[in-house]
A and B are shown apart, each in its own frame.
Chain A
Amino acid sequence: MKRLAAPLLLLALALAGGDARGAELVLSLSKARVTITSNFTGDTIVLFGVIAPGEAATPARPQDVIVTVRGPSESFTTWRKERFLGLWVNADSRSFLAAPSYLAVLANRDPALIAGSEMLRQEQVGLDNNRLLQRIGSDYADVVPQDPFRQAFLRVKQAQGLYFERPAGVEFIAPNVFRATIPLPGTAPIGPYEVVVKTFADGALMSRGALRLEVAKIDFEQTVATTAQDHPWLYGLATALMALGVGFIANLAFRRD
């Protein structure tokens, strides 16, 4: 029921026309806070958006939407293996500083058809255009998309299901109302997420908007995590006692003599 309410509200907003003219782009998430409990296996967030009616898509002037979702930043190291005395060992590495831990790019059609490559790079649209700062020796820079370390990083992240591009991830349900489904896997990192929406027409950027999404542990999961952080001695002792307790109980339970 809740899921239906959001689009209905937006649809009403869109049809009301004049009232929404002030804001160019109206956005709403099906939920702004994803809570992780013990049975969390992933979630799906739905984003609804309304483009100002004056700029509604017409057959002559189609509107395009690109949604980028970035998870909290983390630093990663990409390793390259090389053969050394018959063994494969990590020979070379690059540090990726403050790269998004989750990166989803959703569009209503192939971004390459929406705008020129220069515009897409400037707006950081797509995995290849997202800025990924690397430390190379003493320098900090992003490199060309063909860089093997960069490509390997994207490949591994995609294999983990944390980075992906969906050229058909945004759907227009009315000429000026769109919907995008954002899948969050069970391994989704904890923290603040940024949802950035950009609309294009004729290859030019028309409007942009951003929302925040929070992935957080609650209840038991959060208690465990914060205790481990704030009272490490207590947590360690409690865990050690729990281990000894389980060992003792098992020994008693299975005692034969």
Chain B
Amino acid sequence: MLGESCYGLSTLPTLPDLPVTIYLPIAELPVNIFTLLALGIAVGFISGMFGVGGGFLMTPLLIFLGVPPAVAVASVSTHMAASSFSGTLTYLRRRMVDVRLGLMLLAGGLTGTLAGVVAFMLLRRHGQLDLVIAVTYIVMLGTIGSLMVAESLRALLREWRGEKTNVKRPGAHPWFLRMPFKMRFRQSRIYVSVIPVVVIGFAIGFLGALMGIGGGFILVPALIYLLRVPTLTSIATSLMLTLVTMTAAILMHAVLNQTVDAVLGLVLMVGGTIGAQFGARAGQAMPAEKLRLLLGLLVLAVGLRVAVDQIVTPADFYAVSIDEAAR
């Protein structure tokens, strides 16, 4: 996947008389400004609606436009920081963010990120990074997507039949929530052990570093299904976590790789924050079951897309990538 190179920019329509193209100073190529804005709005809408960062959608789309993968990954983090900040503020005002839960997740998440970066380096040394990334994507997205779709369909079916939705029973927690070091997360209305919380944070950080994503689309279902946090609180808390990790990512990429394109980021974030506002409202107006069904379908679709890319015989067996180290 990382080996895929940049095609197709020459096919973008260019009108010389109108300032529709903008030159990206770090990516070093011109792109259609409206294509970028539309991309930002669309992905921002989705990220505001489901509380996901949107990186797993935006990064491949930018690479498809011809942006070098390293620049795409780094610049998307600015867009995600902006739209998650905007979303977090909205949810904070509605008192839906569980700051305590977020901080506990973050503690595990930062350790996990470090472990993920080390694993990334080891796998790259053995030349198997691409395979591991592709398989992880397919397995993670496929499993989470299927589980979410199945669960939300069951919930919708129950509602349609007029059955009463099962009320959360106290004491019916699975074993891992009954472990020691219990803590009360008032906003999430749960009283659980911190061990699974930190472990989930660690897993998200690890997978995020390995797969180059914020991890929101894994975190939201994990909070809903494993910790039984209410859907909207899960989304709000996930947005807060995305905000912290992505702001750290901007600094890391800027200092270590110099691959953050501020112009690209600005256009994306202007579109993204507008989209996120509408997305957040659409998300609150929709029943939680339908929201979960939609997110499940989206996750499943991206997983299928990756699987198809890996399984279908490619048109060209060869790909060329620029060695960043040589620059």
A residues neighboring B (CB under 8 Å): 36-42, 74-82, 84, 86-90, 93, 95, 97, 148-149, 152-153, 155-157, 159-161, 185-187, 189-190, 217, 220-222, 224-225, 228-229, 232-233, 235-240, 242-244, 246-251, 254, 257
> How far is it, in angstroms, between the C-alpha of A74 and the C-alpha of B5 when the chains are bound?
15
Identify which of B10, B251, B263, B318 gathers the most chain A CB atoms within 10 Å of its CB.
Answer: B318
B195 on interface, CB distance cutoff 8 Å: no
CB of B321 within 8 A of CB of A40, answer no
Cα distance A37–B263 in the bound complex, in angstroms = 13
Residue from A240, A244, A254 within 8 A of B251 (CB atoms) = A240
Q: How far is the CA of A76 from the CA of B327 in the complex (A)?
A: 10
Taking the closest CB of chain B, its distance from the CB of A169, in whole angstroms, is 18
Quick check: A236 and B250 within 8 Å, CB to CB? yes
List B contacts of A190 (CB < 8 A).
Answer: 28
Q: How far, in Å, is A219 (CB) from chain B's closest CB? A: 10
A157 touches B273 (CB 8 A): no
* Docked complex Cα distance between A160 and B5 (Å): 9
**Residues in chain A near residue B81, CB distance under 8 A:** 240, 243-244, 247
Give Cα distance in the complex from A86 to B138, angstroms: 13
Chain A residues with CB under 8 Å of B115's CB are none
Given A76-B323, A185-B10, 19 more pairs with CB closer than 8 A: A38-B23, A39-B19, A41-B21, A41-B23, A79-B318, A90-B3, A90-B319, A152-B316, A155-B316, A156-B316, A156-B318, A161-B10, A221-B25, A224-B262, A225-B26, A232-B255, A239-B250, A246-B82, A247-B84
**Chain B residue at minimum C-beta to C-beta distance from A257:** B93
Given A81-B314, A247-B84, A251-B86, verify A187-B66 contact (CB < 8 Å).
Answer: yes
In whole angstroms, what is the CA distance A247 to B23 when docked? 23
Does A237 contact B93, Cβ atoms closer than 8 Å?
no
Chain A residues with CB under 8 A of B316:
152, 155-156
Is the pair B30, A74 in contact by a Cβ cutoff of 8 Å? no
- Residue B113 CB within 8 A of the other chain: no
Q: How far is the CA of A244 from the CA of B80 in the complex (A)?
A: 10
24 pairs of residues in contact across A and B, judged by CB atoms under 8 Å: A38-B22, A38-B23, A39-B23, A76-B322, A78-B318, A79-B3, A80-B317, A80-B318, A87-B135, A89-B131, A93-B3, A152-B317, A187-B28, A222-B25, A225-B25, A229-B258, A233-B255, A235-B262, A236-B254, A243-B79, A244-B81, A244-B247, A250-B270, A251-B86
- The distance from the CB of A98 to the nearest CB of chain B, in whole angstroms, is 8
Query: How many Å from the CB of B243 to the closest CB on chain A?
Result: 8
**Pairs of residues from A and B, 10 with the lowest C-beta to C-beta distance, nearest first:** A236-B254, A247-B85, A152-B318, A250-B273, A75-B326, A247-B86, A186-B30, A254-B277, A79-B3, A243-B81
Question: What secondary structure prevails in chain B residues at the interface with A?
Answer: helix
0/1 per residue, B11-54, Cβ < 8 Å to A? 00010100101110110111000000000000000000000000
B143: Cβ under 8 A from any A Cβ: no
State whether the Cβ of B78 lies closer than 8 Å to any Cβ in chain A: yes
Assembled-state Cα–Cα distance A95/B263 (Å): 31
B141, chain A: closest CB distance, angstroms: 15
| Interface flag for B311 (CB, 8 Å) | yes
B131, A95: Cβ atoms under 8 Å?
A: no
Residues of B within 8 A of A156 (CB): 5, 316, 318-320
Q: Return the contact of B265 from the options A153, A186, A243 (Cβ within 8 A).
A: A243
- Chain B hits for A89, CB < 8 A: 130-131, 134, 310
Q: CB of B238 within 8 A of chain A?
A: no
Q: Are A157 and B262 in contact (CB under 8 A)?
A: no
Is B83 part of the contact surface with A, judged by Cβ < 8 Å?
Answer: yes
* CB pair B6 A37 closer than 8 Å: no
Cβ-defined contact, B254 with A235, below 8 A: yes
Asked if B266 is at the interface of the complex by the 8 Å CB criterion, the answer is yes
Q: Which residues of A contact B309 (CB under 8 A)?
A: 88
Residues A221 and B23 in contact in the complex (CB < 8 Å), given A160-B7, A244-B247: yes
Taken together as a complex, chains A and B put the C-alpha atoms of A224 and B277 apart, in Å, by 29
Contacts of A239 in B (CB 8 A): 78, 250, 254, 260, 262, 265
Q: Report if B299 contacts A (CB, 8 A).
A: no
Tell me the residues in window 294-310 of chain B with beta carbons closer than 8 Å to chain A beta carbons. 309-310
- Residues of B within 8 Å of A157, CB to CB, are 320
Write out the residue numbers on chain B whose beta carbons fall within 8 Å of the beta carbon of A41.
Answer: 14, 16, 21, 23, 30
Within the assembled complex, what's the spacing in Å between the Cα atoms of A84 and B128? Answer: 12
A251 touches B250 (CB 8 A): no
**For the complex, is B222 an interface residue (Cβ under 8 Å from A)?**
no
Check B250 against A240 for contact (C-beta < 8 Å). yes
Q: Does B232 contact A (CB under 8 A)?
A: no
